[in-house]
Structure 1
Amino acid sequence: MMSVVVYKRQSNIDIISEDDYYKELLKKEGSFNFFDLPEPICVEVIAHLNLRDTRALALTCRAAWNLTRDQFMWKRKLWLRAKTINLGLSGPNFTPDPHAGMLVRDPLLVNNKLLYEILDPDSCSSRSQEDLDMGNLLSKMATPSTSTALSDMIDQFFSIFNGGNANSAPSDPFSRGEGAPTYLLFGMPETEVSKKLFLSFIASKGSTFDTVGFVKGKPGGVGGGMTVKYIHHLLNLLLVRRARPRLLVDGPSGTAFHPDVAEVIPQVDGLICYMDATCTCPAYITSTCQHTLDVLELEAMLRTVPSNLTPPVLVLLAHLDHPQASPTDSDCDVECCAPSVCNIAESVEENPSANRHRPAMLHSVLQSLDLPWAVCDVEVKTLSGVHRGLNWLLHRTLKLKNG
């Protein structure tokens, strides 16, 4: 099928072949450059460039400068290079793409260009394959001296669950996070996948996160946590684990967290929720049917947040690169069809929601919130995706702190 170009000449509309259109341009101008192409084509090409090349292109001429200020181009770039949707520019009835890797709803970031620069997808991938190291957690507590016994270090480690240590020397691991942004880290009923993501925050070998100190908590551990170095930032992560089911209580409006947790929330700058995105829905579930996603702790936390506070909420959906597909994952409706006959890999590729839950599935839970929020996919082994979420959370926190 021949493509055509429609343009206006005086008062008449002419339809000519695409080849003839460009030949006429060459005759009239004597030369042909990139910006003589139709604007939608220019926008699509620029949308594929990384941030550095886009900035360089903007400095070449006025036409390039104008195109790199086009909000549609940055929206397209966010999708092509980060699978991100900025809901701040969408209407109330907007339904996000089910294959989106990240959703952001933030009234301070309705500019797609600014959001892209914050997320910077080109710097958001970590290919480190280092294993998690629980032993590394103890080594980060303090530099052992001749007078420091191993038993003393272990006592310091467990003291975070009993109010910490009263000493606050410069080398004291409990004083290293003073003034750093503080986030409440909580999760759903832990699985192997979500637990690995949790441990990467508090006990990794330093490729992405590096545990450098501790935060004092109340007796029982509520309000205690870790000081973590992320890139060039320090973060205080206060831990709320599902291993303590007594932290969930029934209230008049539904399940909420224990009042002890409610007392901690006003002290934090934001909330980080981690959960397993592995799909355990029945085999007959399709993209048009309703997936079931356990959001009990997320909804409980949202009920616990006081109405006068608006902490940003980051939800991390943890998954593995290649989830193990079971025979029931097949969408074949023939009872006698064996798993070897039904190509599971192809069905997963055609319907990615069949092997894990996606950010769009939390849209119905979060869309009514007055809080700024973001939800993103995180690949546990490489931590791909976690950077985008934290970059957004840190930017918002520091922007508010700095006025």
Structure 2
Amino acid sequence: MNLKRRVGILVIARALFTFFQWLMLASVVHLTGPATVGVYGTALAVATMVFRFADFGIVGAVTTDIHGEYQLRDYYRLRWCLNLAAAMALIGIVFFAYGLNETAIICLALLFPKLVESQSTFTYGIYQRANRVEWVGVSLLARGVAGTFGFIGMLWITKSLLTAVLAMGAAWLLVAITLDAWFVVKAMALVVSTQVTEENVGHQVREHELWHLTKRLCPLGVAGLLAYILGALPTVFLEGMHPLEIAGVYTAIYYPFQAANMIVKSMGEALLQPLAKSAQEGRNIQSARILLRAVTAIACVCLIGICVAFFAGDQVLSLMYSPVYANYSGEFTLLAVAWSFRYLGATLKLVPTAKRNFAASLKLHFVAALPMLFVAPFLIHKYELVGAVYSVMISHFVFMLGAAHLARSEFGFAVERG
């Protein structure tokens, strides 16, 4: 499958899935109040933060494992172990931090769909290894449609956020045990037929070396946690320092850019396998062309997004939510600039990931998280919503600079030699 088709399928599918996710958030905005939106945003931030750490970048590791360094069953077992650990960690965090308030209940309810989602996304790495990205698109669309109908329908009928979250999880589980299960069987047959057997590869991991795989991917787990801190901490700080309604507003204006980040991520997923193959085989000029095209496309889209936010941000927010949110068009524009830094940095970060330099990803996210940890509390305490926006901008700018440095150190000099 050619590169343009891979990117097109995943970007369109992820865009539609993200649209369905936004419909769920919009339904909470329209059918409830700002306080409930704040509860949903905070619970989602906490649950996602835990599962981002437990993700360990396994999908990317499976996709870039061109030479069969590890077996698929090792990745799968590690995914299950990490999911169980994430579930216990989330229960512990909720019990000690929130007690039994509404936020805690929604956090625990989100455990169900998060577990299902984690297993489903793992299968996407298998699909890509089998060169069947269209199955990723079909699965995303099925989960998006089923989850949205379940969530909005239950929220409209019961007016309960708890039942809506559980309905979404049930819908995703139905897709996982039917459609995804069928695709996995077909994909595994394709992967096994093209993969070098364990007997012919002396360095391939045996069953008792699962711990080695865990240590190998641990930097990606910590990096994922730090990455999500950039988005989750402002919500947590706003909830703790200011009225819950402000956290709800931040969640609403922040979500479109977080959703767009999923689309950018899907483009990276589509590019990762061909980029990894060319980079690991020493075809540096081809790798540079892939990266340059990706960065150029992202830069153009970011410029268009900033212009739309600046000139029509109030209309966009009114259309997405309600006229009340049009008052925050200035913050919306600043977030567009901030997230442009993030999108460009995420694209540049594909280089060390393609070369399976997972430790470099950890260093990058650690440096980018420092401003959020030390600057955000002061800015948010003094400037409320605007302070949250500026803290995100500072962190994302540092992330972009670090990613550019990594791309040059990992790839730039190799291109010059190539």
TM-score computed with the length of structure 1 as normaliser: 0.21
Structure (1 or 2) with the larger CA radius of gyration: 1
Q: Greater RCO between the two (CA within 8 Å, min separation 6)?
A: 2
TM-score computed with the length of structure 2 as normaliser: 0.21
